[in-house]
Every structure is written in C-alpha cells, then in structure tokens.
Structure 1
Amino acid sequence: MANTAQAKKRVRQAEQARQRNVALRSRVRTEYKKVLKAVASGSVEQAQAAYKSAQPVIDSMVNKGILAKNTAARRKSTLVGRIKALSASA
C-alpha cells in the first residue's frame, strides 16, 4: 500500500479516473447497442436517429481518451455500413 501522502493521493485519483472511465466506456457501448438494436428492428428512420445520437458520444470519447481515434472511426463506419445495408434492402 502507499506510504506517502503523495502516493495515497495518486491512489485516490487513479480510482476516481478508473470509475469515470468505466462509466464513459459503458455509455459508448450502450449507444452502440442502441443503433444495432434499431438496425435489427428494420426501421431505417430509427436506426438513423440512433446513429445521430451515438455519433457525438463516440467522438467525445476520443477527445476524452476513452477510445482511440481509429477505433471510433471503425465503429462509426460499421454502424453506417449496417444502416446503408438496411436502407438498400428496404
């Protein structure tokens, strides 16, 4: 365990950051799943609306350091591809 006051403070700060990151990562996953669920339902309008709300969340997680830039781009690209495939079949 930490012995100095400085080390104890760093332990507290690290735990706060960890909890914040867990919550933010969960939010991204939730938004991602909402889009997938809308795509699965077959409604193009719902899927586009869900993507429109998920996109800024994904982008903001890049700025916060929760997601890497390429990871966010890949996830957004995957979602857009699914929505386009849905609209092409509809």
Structure 2
Amino acid sequence: MPNDNFNLMSSNTNKGSNASSNNELTTAKLAILGGLLSTLGDAISTYAAVLALEELQKTKSESNKNDDKISELEKQVKYLTEEINQQKR
C-alpha cells in the first residue's frame, strides 16, 4: 500500500508539471502570435506612410507643372501685349 500512495502523489505531481508546461507553451505561442500581429501592423503602417508620401510627391509635382504652365501663359500674354503695342505704333 505505501507504494500506491507514492504512485498517486507522483502521478499528481506529473499532472501539475504537465499543466504548467502546457500553460508555458500556450503563453509562448500567444507571445509569438502577438509579436507577429504587431509586426504585421507595423508593416501596414509603413506601407500607408509610403503611399501618403507618394501622394504628396505627386501633388507637388502636379503643382509644379501647373506653376510652369501659368508662367508660360504669362510669358505668352506679355509677348502678345508687346506685339499689339508695336502694331499700334
């Protein structure tokens, strides 16, 4: 009978140890999953920032093109005004 008590105690200790190991394993898996989700979120944020930067550059480029067109039109108006003034003389 003394051996039976020892076996029961040993069995309970092993179950407790297994439960603790399972908890640690689950915790480690959750930590990995959390890290993965965090990394994925960072990647999405970085991608969004890149898209915003590209949009700003595109807008600035279009603005520069518009400024160039306005400048060219101003030159043409000035030229045409000078031509009209010369023909009046």
TM-score bucket of the superposed structures, by smaller chain: 0.3 to 0.5
Higher helix share: 2
Report which structure shows greater RCO (CA 8 Å, sep ≥6): 1
TM-score, normalization by structure 2: 0.43
Computing the radius of gyration from Cα coordinates, the structure with the larger value is 2
TM-score, normalization by structure 1: 0.42
